[in-house]
Amino acid sequence: MSNQFELKDIAQRIDTEIRALPVKNTPNLRAIRRSYTAILKDTNPDLILSLAKLLFKSYGYRWLSYELIRNHPEAFKLIDESELRDFGININSWGAVDAFAGLLAGPAWQQGQVSDQLIRRWAFSEDRWWRRIALVCTVVLNRRSCGGKGDVVSTLAICRLLVNDKDDMVVKAMSWALRELIPHDADAVSSFLKEYDDALAARVKREVTNKLTTGRKNPKKKKR
């Protein structure tokens, strides 16, 4: 991929393949993304970013554009605060939040490409979706499948900032963030629940306590 014309041609080809899918589900979309990841593996990282932006802004393929970057190591290294601002435009849904935080923002934070201060700013946002993003970013720090090795300090620092937030999307993310930390330091999570018992939403306390005691968020009731 050597110029803007070729870049536009590839974006059109991807769009054509997606439109031709009999079922536009995640496995089928990912199969297309994987094929282009293989084709473009030696492409200049700046052009990968340009292609991803074109797919996102001109065709509306948010998740696919994030995956394209995440699976091109050199392109991913270019993700910084400015790029996250571009790729975070108009986030207004649960799915968009979790894709952005899980594929771009969280890994960029994990690898030191963006600062703790940026995640803290998101936690103070008036927009519920950006507050959720701040919490979901901590999931990447702790999820082993994402290379997470456990970061108690960073995770609980963000959780403390949002401990009084009762927005449903934020509450669910708080539960997720704390549950993901349990395999690394269950005692720290248990202490956090006790310290903020009066502030935490009932859902958070229930789900995280269940995870601590049974290993499951919502254990099945025993049959009588």
Stated pTM of the model: 0.92
| Residue extents of the structural domains in the chain | 1-78, 80-224
Q: Could you read off the pLDDT of 140-164 as tens digits, one per residue?
A: 999 988 888 899 999 999 999 999 9
pLDDT at 66: 98
Q: Could you read off the pLDDT of 3-30 as tens digits, one per residue?
A: 655 899 999 999 999 999 999 999 999 9
pLDDT band with cut points at 50, 70 and 90 for residue 71: very high
What is the torsion angle, in degrees rounded to the nearest 10, for the CA atoms of residue 183, residue 186, residue 192 and residue 198?
100
104 token code pair: 């771009």
pLDDT at 147: 85
Rounded alpha-carbon distances, angstroms, from residue 189 to 129, 159, 170, 175, 216: 24, 11, 18, 11, 15
pLDDT at 2: 52
CB atoms inside a 10 Å sphere around CB 189:
25
Q: Could you read off the pLDDT of 174-215 as tens digits, one per residue?
A: 999 999 999 999 999 999 999 999 999 999 999 999 999 999
How far is the C-alpha of 138 from the C-alpha of 160, rounded, in Å?
12
pLDDT band with cut points at 50, 70 and 90 for residue 127: very high
1 pLDDT higher than 80: no
pLDDT at 165: 98
Give me the chain's average pLDDT, please: 94
CATH topology of domain 80-224: Leucine-rich Repeat Variant (1.25.10)
Cβ atoms of 103 and 140 within 8 Å: the answer is no
How far is the C-alpha of 60 from the C-alpha of 206, rounded, in Å?
37
Instruction: Give percent of the chain with pLDDT exceeding 70.
Output: 96
Sort residue 64 into left (φ over 0), alpha (ψ -120 to 50) or beta: alpha
How far is the C-alpha of 27 from the C-alpha of 192, rounded, in Å?
38
89 pLDDT higher than 80: yes
Report angle CA 194, 196, 197 to the nearest 5 degrees: 65
